[in-house]
């Protein structure tokens, strides 16, 4: 499955979860947790497309990552994902993630580099 949110999350440095193709993991940001982006279609809300995702926080040592994850934000588009990541602090992310965050939030930065 390829869609705009998939491409965006991969560009941020997320990796697709091997057992769940609609889940993306962004780790190496904290020693206690990682972020999970759930891009599954919401059958309860047909008006929401695959261009959105839910952001979850998952304890790093979780036995059952789906059961122990906590949904922080629902139905995020690219802009909401960026706002959330910036709220966490850009310095905590890998350079690839930071670069995409800055380029997407300020398109002029991309053309200048």
What is the domain partition of the chain in residue ranges?
A: 4-112
| Residue closest to 8 by CA, chosen among 42, 55, 45, 43 | 55
**Cβ neighbours of residue 77 under 8 Å, at least 6 residues apart?**
51, 52
Residues of the chain with pLDDT under 50: 1-2, 111-113
At 46 the pLDDT is 60
pLDDT attached to residue 47: 59
Rounded distance between C-alpha atoms, residue 7 and residue 66, angstroms: 23
Q: What is the pLDDT of residue 108?
A: 58
Query: What pLDDT is attached to residue 111?
Result: 47
Cα separation, 23 vs 66, in Å, equals 10
pLDDT for the residue 49? 52
Q: What is the pLDDT of residue 1?
A: 42
Residues paired with 26 in a beta bridge: 35
């Amino acid at each position: 499955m390829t869609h705009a949110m998939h491409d965006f999350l991969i560009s941020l440095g997320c990796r697709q979860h091997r057992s769940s193709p609609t889940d993306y993991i962004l780790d190496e940001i904290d020693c206690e947790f990682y972020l999970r982006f759930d891009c599954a279609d919401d059958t309860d809300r047909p008006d929401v497309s695959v261009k959105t995702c839910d952001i979850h926080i998952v304890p790093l040592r979780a036995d059952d990552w789906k059961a122990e994850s906590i949904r922080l934000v629902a139905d995020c588009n690219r802009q909401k994902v960026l706002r959330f990541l910036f709220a966490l602090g850009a310095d905590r992310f890998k350079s690839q993630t930071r670069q995409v965050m800055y380029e997407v939030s300020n398109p002029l930065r991309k053309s200048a580099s």
